[in-house]
Amino acid sequence: MKNIWAPWRIEYILQTKKEDGCIFCNAVKNNDPLILQKGKTCFSIMNKFPYTTGHCMIVPFRHIASIEDLNDNESKEIMTMIKKHLTAIKASLKPQGFNVGSNIGHVAGAGVKEHVHIHIVPRWEGDTNFMPAISEVHMISEHISATKDKIKGRLS
């Protein structure tokens, strides 16, 4: 039997209390070290409990629940950031594809339903295997800090 070493997951597993307030508003207020980039209306941040290596999110500063609540400046900057992050992740991690999107509302799978955010999930051939289905484990091939540094280094 092979061992899977993912020490950063223990924080999520043992988490018994939900963080007070909004995790995204708190991240900006506390200058979270996982923040990749700040713009005028939005910011990007690595997903603390990623689906796969390089999983990050684009988030408006304004605490709003859905995409239709974005103003034109926020919409434009979010799309610009998505494009820049796709380019940076392609250059630094060499994925073969991406999932880009948002889960709006609890029934759609939103983990944080009160503050809209857009996921950018790099994908590689064969990155989905039996692990998520059988044991609810996602394989992350690199420590999040190293991945963050690679992506951040490619953002202009």
Strand ranges for the chain from DSSP E: 35-38, 42-46, 56-60, 97-101, 118-123
- What does pLDDT average to over the chain? 85
Tell me which residue range forms the domain holding 132.
34-154
7 belongs to a structural domain: no
pLDDT digits (tens, 9 = 90+) for 3-48: 555 565 566 566 656 668 999 999 999 999 999 999 999 999 999 8
113 belongs to a structural domain: yes
Q: What is the pLDDT of residue 134?
A: 39
pLDDT digits (tens, 9 = 90+) for 48-69: 888 788 999 999 999 999 999 9
| Nearest-angstrom CA–CA distance, 146 and 2 | 24
Q: What is the CATH number of the domain that holds 101?
A: 3.30.428.10
31, two tokens:
């200058």
